[in-house]
Structure 1
Amino acid sequence: MAFLRLKLHWQILIALALAVIAGLLTGTEAGLFGVTFYSVFDFVGKLFLNALKMLIVPLIVSSIIVGIAGIGGSQNLGRLGGKTLLYYMSTSLLAILVGLMVVNAIAPGIVDGQPAKDLIGFTTDVSTFEDQVAGRGAGDVIEVFLRMVPTNIVAAAAAGQMLGLIFFSLLYGFFMTRIAAGYAEVQYNFWQGVFEVMLKITDLIMRFAPLGVFALVAKVVASTGFDAFVPLATFFFSVLAALAIHFLVTLPLLLYFVGGVNPVRHFKAMGSALLTAFSTASSSATLPITMECVEKNAGVSNRTTSFVLPLGATVNMDGTALYECVAAMFIAQAYGLELTFASQFTIVLIALLTSIGVAGIPAASLVAISIILAAMGLPVEGIGLILAVDRVLDMLRTATNVWSDSAGAVIIGKLEGEQGILEEQPRRA
């Protein structure tokens, strides 16, 4: 079949286009033999997401342990870790500042000189969401750092607390090189074997990616259509403009001037991962595909990839941080709150901190936004103003998160002196 002979990113792109058509035609009610198409989309989409999430814990643990053990000495680990954290903090801060600039310039929360709250109204019932965020405040940022050291690593893995899992894996891989050579070799071979098995399973699941993407996007379109964008068009395009600036200007400039690589070539290498991130709205679920694209297509070594990308999928949330800032500013504008420079600086700081460790799953940033709103003295139900378009914007900011992670892996790989990155015939370490 000609479709199956196409490259994966083309298959996913075609699936996206067909999903929009299918979602508009079927809606939520159409079906056959008493079964709605919407329920079929929901089932297939969840099945694909579950398959990807099934890989996350063993893939993260094995890749980090093997990567850290391969790095060896504490001096090398400190150098790589320092570069990685510096990159992540810098790009997140740049993203937030871009968002702040755009939202101040456009002022989506002001319509004809008046706050837009009464004009927009509440588009979604947020009573169920209020229970999840009740009582949260800026002090919850501390919980992000407490989660780095879990009391039970098995429970942390089961709960999807990636920060704790990454911290444990970093320690395990580091001290694995500090035990007797005989034991260390057995340990390394075991985890290397686990990692190779996970890559094979990833390859299998990715064969079904176009089908999973089709179902996920068709479900979104079937439930919202394009009507969800009408009342919040200005806010939507403000976020879109800010994400576009960071995606198309800030990060490519870093790739070109810091990494010394062609951003267009890297974009082509990351096609499958970006489309998967957009359709799943989950950077964690996309992690297996991101790692495969960065290693196979971009030519970054496993040593760098296995450290930078799992960490990035948890702590590097450029798109999320940008969105939190724009959303909080929009809600403040819509409620007619005048924000001073100090207030805006507070939003920037909290957005930066809450973006670290935000779970890489759909809509996780809504909880982070509630923390910002509480810190600014705004009612949590202000989130109701943005829920109608949150899902599609979630898809866009997740793609930005993954793009930043992959750019970081390339830049850090180049800074580490690796050869063959984004050349005509990339190698795989």
Structure 2
Amino acid sequence: MKLHWQIAIALALALAAGITLGEAPWFLQACSFVGTLFLNALKMLIVPLIVSAIICGLAGIADAGTLGRLGWRTLVFYMASGLLAILTGLLMVNLLAPGIVDGQPAAQRLGLAADTEQVVSGVRERGTGDLVAVLQRLVPANPIGAAAEADMLGVVTFALLFAWALAQLPEGTRRTQQEFWQGVYQAMLRIADLVMRFAPLGVFALVGGVVAKTGLEALRPLAVFFLAVVAGLLTHALLTLPLLLRLVARVSPMAHYRAVGPALLTAFSTSSSAATLPLTLSCLRERAGVSERVTGFVLPIGANVNTDGTALYECAAALFIAQAYGLELGFATQFTIVLMALLTSVGVAGIPSASLVAIALILGTIGLPLEGVGLILAVDRVLDMCRTAVNVLGDTVATVTVARMEGEEILQR
């Protein structure tokens, strides 16, 4: 049975069990035990998966000797479109405020067990609200210590610098290091796949425990969060990216959507930009007329680096949970969330639900508990399908734009 159907069944059973059993001590204890195991498994993945993904992705680009004009145009466009997506998600969550219900933080309705005052105090102690402190944490005195303390700002910076330095090494040493990190990355993907096989149990435990304590009140903020993310994804897909096509690439958005339509439908159904890559390549070459030179370079990078929908979702999820705890979202805190969403979207693998690891990373950086991640799983599957389609659309827009900058005459003028 497909994972999304397993999660859907687990969600339905969790609602039924929570309503039927109520606050039975044995049920709450069992849910707490299983839910904690699942969240700990997500935490276990964070450091090695993100670090190895960033090192493999960026070192591979530099190793190919492609950071010339074509490479820099591609990376600049990807970072710019990702930033626009994140800001769109930021706007939607601030407008709809899914973490606020009737003027009050939704922590109690969502069944978040942590003491909200203690959580806010811990966030302040971490210095997330101080922009200077945030910038200082970008350069860790001890990257191993930063990883142990879940201070991922410094860890991500170290990974970026390591990838750059790796590309400068002699060929033999560089190849050895790349093979090592590629092995770490592939092994972490296997472990991530194993953890996600237990996602239905995690959903049942986390959602069942919440429903048992709060009834169905948790569904309201989750529904608003779902709408905020969908609104953000639609805005990026139907407004931001078409404007980039029209103004930068000088290409008809409608013609582009017709050309890449099969790839978007496949991305939506599979929730994997990596699995959709062959069809995306075919659509852009045969239906849009983009050269093999540009598609062969831009699209494979985009499948791992350009994740507009994922970056938007990560930002929206982190802000939603912060709102639920009553955390005052000042400029420095939101800057931290935007920065981490932009950096971690580079290291998120093109596999289903991988962004849950990145959300856990962002929450840890701010100083928030991971309780909310389990609740997001209840609506994650449909949102995963939507954001993967936006990821692939962003890749195709980047490819066409870079092709036009390179002077290519493509079919969809």
C-alpha distance in structure 1 between counterparts of 2:370 and 2:158, whole Å: 20
Within the alignment, does 1:347 sit opposite 2:333 as a pair? no
Within the alignment, does 1:367 sit opposite 2:367 as a pair? no
Tell me the amino acid that sits aligned with residue 331 of structure 2.
F
Which is worse superposed, 245-254 or 379-388? 379-388
Change (3 A) 1:310 1:377: same
Residue of structure 2 in register with 1:110 after alignment:
100
Question: For each residue in 1:23-68, what CA deviation from the matched residue of structure 2 results, as whole angstroms up to 9, or x when unmatched?
Answer: 99xx99xxxxxxxxxxxxxxxxxxxxxxxxxxxxxxxx9xx99xx9
Tell me the amino acid that sits aligned with residue 136 of structure 1.
A
Residue of structure 2 in register with 1:270 after alignment:
260
Show the 5 A alignment for 1:130-149.
Answer: 136-138=150-152, 139-142=154-157, 144-145=159-160, 146=162, 149=166
C-alpha distance in structure 1 between counterparts of 2:403 and 2:294, whole Å: 6
Tell me the amino acid that sits aligned with residue 157 of structure 2.
I
Residue of structure 1 in register with 2:235 after alignment:
245
Tell me the amino acid that sits aligned with residue 78 of structure 2.
Y
Offset at residue 371 of structure 1 (A): 1.6
Question: For each residue in 1:351-397, what CA deviation from the matched residue of structure 2 results, as whole angstroms up to 9, or x when unmatched?
Answer: 11111121111111111111211121111222123111111111111
Match of 2:388 among 385, 394, 398: 398
Change (3 A) 1:159 1:421: farther
Tell me the amino acid that sits aligned with residue 399 of structure 2.
A
C-alpha distance in structure 2 between counterparts of 1:366 and 1:147, whole Å: 24
Question: For each residue in 1:155-185, what CA deviation from the matched residue of structure 2 results, as whole angstroms up to 9, or x when unmatched?
Answer: 55556569xxxxxxxxxxxxxxxxxxxxxxx
Change (3 A) 1:396 1:312: same
Question: For each residue in 1:244-268, what CA deviation from the matched residue of structure 2 results, as whole angstroms up to 9, or x when unmatched?
Answer: 1111000000001111111111111
Q: CA RMSD in A?
A: 3.3
Question: For each residue in 1:127-156, what CA deviation from the matched residue of structure 2 results, as whole angstroms up to 9, or x when unmatched?
Answer: xxxxxx985332332364346747454455
Question: Is residue 88–residue 232 contact of structure 2 (8 Å, CA) maintained in 1?
Answer: yes
Offset at residue 120 of structure 1 (A): 2.5
Q: The residue matched to 2:303 in structure 1 has which SS?
A: helix
Match of 1:290 among 253, 256, 280: 280
Offset at residue 121 of structure 1 (A): 2.8
Match of 1:321 among 303, 311, 328: 311
C-alpha distance in structure 2 between counterparts of 1:232 and 1:331, whole Å: 10
C-alpha distance in structure 2 between counterparts of 1:143 and 1:272, whole Å: 39
Residue of structure 2 in register with 1:410 after alignment:
400
Show the 5 A alignment for 1:114-263.
Answer: 114-121=104-111, 136-138=150-152, 139-142=154-157, 144-145=159-160, 146=162, 149=166, 151-154=176-179, 156-157=181-182, 232-263=222-253
Q: The residue matched to 2:290 in structure 1 has which SS?
A: coil
Change (3 A) 1:144 1:362: farther
Q: The residue matched to 1:120 in structure 2 has which SS?
A: coil
C-alpha distance in structure 2 between counterparts of 1:318 and 1:354, whole Å: 11
Match of 1:96 among 70, 74, 86: 86
Question: Is residue 121–residue 385 contact of structure 1 (8 Å, CA) maintained in 2?
Answer: no
Residue of structure 2 in register with 1:216 after alignment:
none
Tell me the amino acid that sits aligned with residue 366 of structure 1.
L
C-alpha distance in structure 2 between counterparts of 1:305 and 1:314, whole Å: 14
Offset at residue 279 of structure 1 (A): 1.3
Tell me the amino acid that sits aligned with residue 248 of structure 1.
L
Question: Is residue 144–residue 356 contact of structure 1 (8 Å, CA) maintained in 2?
Answer: no
C-alpha distance in structure 1 between counterparts of 2:163 and 2:109, whole Å: 41
Question: For each residue in 1:336-363, what CA deviation from the matched residue of structure 2 results, as whole angstroms up to 9, or x when unmatched?
Answer: 1111111111111111111112111111
Question: Is residue 278–residue 396 contact of structure 1 (8 Å, CA) maintained in 2?
Answer: yes
C-alpha distance in structure 1 between counterparts of 2:368 and 2:148, whole Å: 13
Q: The residue matched to 2:348 in structure 1 has which SS?
A: coil
* Number of positions where the alignment pairs a residue of Structure 1 with one of Structure 2: 291
Which is worse superposed, 246-255 or 341-350? 341-350
Q: Which runs of 5+ in 2 are unaligned?
A: 14-56, 114-146, 167-173, 188-199, 208-215
Within the alignment, does 1:304 sit opposite 2:328 as a pair? no
State the TM-score, normalizing by the size of structure 2: 0.63
Question: Is residue 106–residue 221 contact of structure 2 (8 Å, CA) maintained in 1?
Answer: no
Question: Is residue 283–residue 361 contact of structure 1 (8 Å, CA) maintained in 2?
Answer: yes
Within the alignment, does 1:385 sit opposite 2:399 as a pair? no
C-alpha distance in structure 2 between counterparts of 1:295 and 1:160, whole Å: 30
Change (3 A) 1:159 1:268: farther
Tell me the amino acid that sits aligned with residue 141 of structure 1.
V
Question: Is residue 99–residue 221 contact of structure 2 (8 Å, CA) maintained in 1?
Answer: no
C-alpha distance in structure 2 between counterparts of 1:284 and 1:353, whole Å: 19
